[in-house]
Structure 1
Amino acid sequence: MQNGQIEHSLQQLYPKMVQWRRYLHQYPELSFKETATAVWIAEQLVAMGCEVERGVGGNGVVGVIRGMERGPVVALRADIDALPIQDEKSCEYASKVAGVMHACGHDAHTATLLAAAEYYSRHRQTFRGERRLLFQPAEEVTPGGAVGMIQDGALGEAEAIYGVHLWTPLSYGLAASRAGAFMSSADEFTIEIEGKGGHGGLPHQAVDALFIGSAFVQAVQSIVSRNVNPVQPAVVTVGSFHAGTTHNVIAESCQLKGTIRSFDEEERRRIHVRLEALLKHTCEMYGASYQMDLRLGYPPVINEEVEAERFFKVAAKLFGGDQAIISEPVTVAEDFAYYLQHLPGCFMFVGAGNPDTGADYAHHHPRFDIDERAMVHSARLLIAMAEDYAAFGR
């Protein structure tokens, strides 16, 4: 299968990609509620002549395309859910669903994978084996959709898996990834501190939950600076603090919410232990009690070295050697991590940022948009990675 043939076919499919993406952008659905989206995706796959597995891991859809000969089984994945954000763009394809929008590019991921499906359906005689195209629900909300897809057999007999995230911080034309830890884990904590309320003028008769919470927030800053290996990036952020009601009343309770980001499982566990130890010590020191709910999010995205090397080889051929770059580790989480715990593979960024077209807003911003031409690059990369694996294996 020649890169020129792939490029020509995908350029022909580009108007369809735009049409698909803009339709999905207008009719987004939230995580775990992607029922209409799943039906629509299945309809497109059936029209292409794909075998379709519905209801995989909830609202997941798997398209199966077999070549003319037996051979490797490779999986490609896209996420399909949207976010609870009001679309503030002024364009013909802005979301028609109040308070819901595709603010992270999942609509374009879906359109990209549909283009790969149509390409493979048209060129069954040119590849060996099986391609499994995973349209996954619920990437944006833990526990995520990947685990359910895996449990329901979405991977089948796959030997490798690849995924792409269109990424506006990266300029159109570039592609990036890295070997090893690429994207961080993301855990969440909610803490309730219970003190004893009282009169603002009589603090000695109260246990000030607001003060104790403040002391804890200060203590938390020591975790990364003094407990985490300096060569292991990590983040502990308290993002929400609520206590008290008025000027002269000492707060009886305090609620804090935050996030923990890490690239190493050992450091991740160490942060969890240290967080509660600091909380316990601070509350005991001032006579308060506490409850902590620590919710484990996605594990780190760990790209196997062999597969990362495949990315740099393939992307250099597709886009030029200076366009395939080594990404810094990114403290954003992705449940593609679960697939990489089961199969060798690689997660990759394709540049979709372009300030000239308004595609320069951050992911999850109300005016988020992409340079739609990046969908062709994304589809080319996914297909080329699959075919390089099929041709050369590991």
Structure 2
Amino acid sequence: MFQTKLIDSELIEWTIAQRRHFHMHPELSGQEYNTAAYVKEKLAEFGIPVNPRFSAPNVVAYFKGTEGKKTIALRADMDALPLHEEGDKPYISTVPGVMHGCGHDGHTATLLGAAKWMSANPQLVKNNIVLIFQSSEEASPSGAKQLVKEGVLDGVDAIYGIHYMSSVPLGQIGFATGYGMASSDDFDITIEGKGGHGGNPHETVDPIYIATHLIQAFQSIISRNLNPLHAGVISFGGLQAGNSYNVIPDKVTMQGTIRALTFEGAELMHEKTAQLTESICASFGAKGHYHFIEGTPPLYNHPEACEVAKGIIEQTFGEGVFAELEPVLGAEDYSFYLKEKLGCFINVGMQSDKSQYPHHHPKFDIDETAIPAGIELMIQLALNA
């Protein structure tokens, strides 16, 4: 499906075998210690040293280039999802209730494959390469945020990462230039009113009624405060109130999510949801308590890095492979890296009969015919970015 220039069938088969090993032995976010130990074992076999100063179970290794004028970081995520895998594949998860349902097994194996190639061809690698095997992409606190805080990008000139994507056709590789993915933040709200009998509502401060005003008002942030050219969404996912037919409760709790495609939009929506909670509740004589739960910022693919990546894709795989993709409101903690350094997050298409289920589905699987492109692309980025 994809033409390759640098890798051979032996490396492809080896990488697929690693991917299947990771798939059979998934670990949840923050618990990837066996995965990390396996990665370290392979890196030791390649003679690539691991930097011990970064928090476990993250693994960060350093490959010294022949010239070392530039330092390129390559990232893979390692965590799995709390899903019970369905299907009859020979490499099905051996851990009940845990599966690689988003392709991180493929990302980790692919970066290992690229590392193996570099160790066998050191004379061709001029750039210094930082290999980031990251914990906790799927959960909070974010592994990317922690690594950035610990200085993983110190001295790095640019960072690149890939994602095998079931929504992109097999045979295509692409990304959205600029804002490519949304921020993802959550909030908790507690409305403290005054309960009472349903037949005497005038003696109460009804938090359920107030909650309906908040739900309506939050949508006005999207329609009347957010720049119409900047996509965003606010959704309530939970509301807990009383449990009786004729008793107005004294408290309501609510949960929701905020997503925005720009940094400005994310900040605006955070400020407005907090302000409206306090002011609307106060206008009805209630107290509104707003708790913001920071998630991930918008993912911004830097145009300069995108231009480099597009050129590498076209030169490596030929014309017609690159696809300029539309932004999506999904989120990725890779955005923490791009907030600090020049870089790009690249989708490797794998939509096919084998990969017909979406990410986070219990029957999700990677079409392994896309893996050679992932290995080749990682290597080409290391050499030419």
TM-score range, shorter chain: over 0.9
Q: Specify the alignment match of 1:368 in structure 2.
A: 364
Counterpart position of 1:45: 43
Query: Contact (CA 8 Å) 2:153, 2:341: kept in 1 or not?
Result: no
Runs (4+) of structure 1 exceeding 4 A deviation are none
Aligned-residue offset at 1:167: 1.0
Question: CA separation in 1, counterparts of 2:257 and 2:222?
Answer: 13
For 1:186, the aligned partner's letter is: S
Give the one of 376, 381, 385 matched to 2:377. 381
Q: Note the residue ranges of structure 2 that are not aligned, 5 or more in a row.
A: none
Among candidates 311, 314, 321, match of residue 312 of structure 2: 314
* Deviation by residue 1:199-247 (Cα, 9 ceiling, x = unmatched): 2333222222222112211111111111101111111111112222132
Q: Is contact 2:4–2:376 with CA below 8 Å preserved after alignment? A: no
Tell me what 1:193 maps to.
191
1:108-119 equivalence runs, <5 A: 108-119=106-117
Name the SS of the counterpart of 1:256 in structure 2: strand
Distance 2:288 2:100 in 1: 38
Stretches of structure 1 that go unaligned for 5 or more consecutive residues are: 390-394
| Counterpart amino acid of residue 305 in structure 2 | E
Structure 1 Cα separation of the partners of residues 154 and 195 of structure 2 = 58
Match for residue 258 of structure 1 among 253, 256, 263: 256
Separation in structure 1 between the aligned mates of residue 4 and residue 204 of structure 2, nearest angstrom: 75
Name the counterpart of 1:270.
Answer: 268
Among 228, 235, 238, which residue is 2:236 paired with?
A: 238
Select between 21-30 and 89-98 the one with higher mean Cα deviation: 89-98
The residue number in structure 2 matching 1:146 is 144
Q: 1:170 aligns with which of 168, 171, 174?
A: 168
- CA RMSD of superposed structures (Å): 1.8
CA distance in 2, matches of 1:18, 1:146: 25
Partner of 1:18: 16
Change (3 A) 1:70 1:214: closer
Residue-by-residue CA offset, 1:22-41 (whole Å, 9 max, x unaligned): 11112111111111111111
Q: What is the identity, as a one-letter code, of the residue corresponding to 1:228?
A: L
Question: Is the Cα contact below 8 Å between 1:68 and 1:128 reproduced in 2?
Answer: yes
Q: Which moved more, 1:241-250 or 1:19-28?
A: 241-250
Whether the aligned pair in 2 keeps the contact of 1:173 and 1:319 (CA below 8 Å) is no
Whole-Å separation in 2 of the counterparts to 1:273 and 1:152 = 29
Quote how far apart the aligned CAs of 1:51 are: 1.3
The alpha-carbon deviation at position 319 of structure 1 amounts to 3.0
Q: Percent identity?
A: 39
Q: Secondary structure at the match of 1:51?
A: coil
Q: Secondary structure at the match of 1:154?
A: coil
| Counterpart position of 2:85 | 87
C-alpha distance in structure 1 between counterparts of 2:4 and 2:359, whole Å = 32
Q: Conserved in 1, the CA contact under 8 Å of 2:127 and 2:382? A: no
Amino acid in structure 1 at the alignment position of 2:197: H
Structure 1 residues 129 and 325: alpha-carbon distance in aligned structure 2, compared to 1, 3 A threshold: closer
Cα–Cα, structure 1 residues 277 and 157, in superposed 2: closer, same or farther, change >3 Å?
Answer: closer
The structure-2 alpha-carbon separation of the partners of 1:202 and 1:78, relative to structure 1 and needing over 3 Å to count, comes to same
Partner AA of 1:191 in structure 2: I
Note the C-alpha offset of 1:55.
6.1
AA matched with 1:94 = I
1:224-272 residue CA offsets vs partner (Å, 9 max, x unmatched): 1111011111111111122221322223221111111112222222111
Question: What CA distance in whole angstroms lies between the structure 2 residues aligned with 1:251 and 1:377?
Answer: 58
1:104-146 CA distance string (max 9 Å, x none):
1111100110000001011112221322211011111223111
Moved more, 332-341 or 186-195: 332-341
Hey, what's the Cα distance between the residues in 2 that align with 1:201 and 1:88? 51
Structure 1 position 66, deviation (Å): 2.6
CA contact (8 A) 1:172 1:352 kept: yes
1:4 Cα offset (Å): 5.2
CA distance in 2 between counterparts of 1:118 and 1:240 reads 47
Residues 207 and 287, structure 1, Cα contact 8 Å, conserved in 2? yes
TM-score (structure 1 length as normaliser): 0.92
SS across alignment from 1:210: helix
Residues 81 and 137 of structure 1 are in contact (CA less than 8 Å); yes or no, is this contact kept in structure 2?
yes
Question: How many aligned residue pairs are there?
Answer: 383
> 1:301-347: CA deviations, max 9, x gaps?
11111111112212122333322111111112222122223321111
Cα separation, partners in 2 of 1:221 and 1:4, compared to 1, 3 Å? closer
Question: In 1, distance between residues paired with 2:232 and 2:121?
Answer: 45
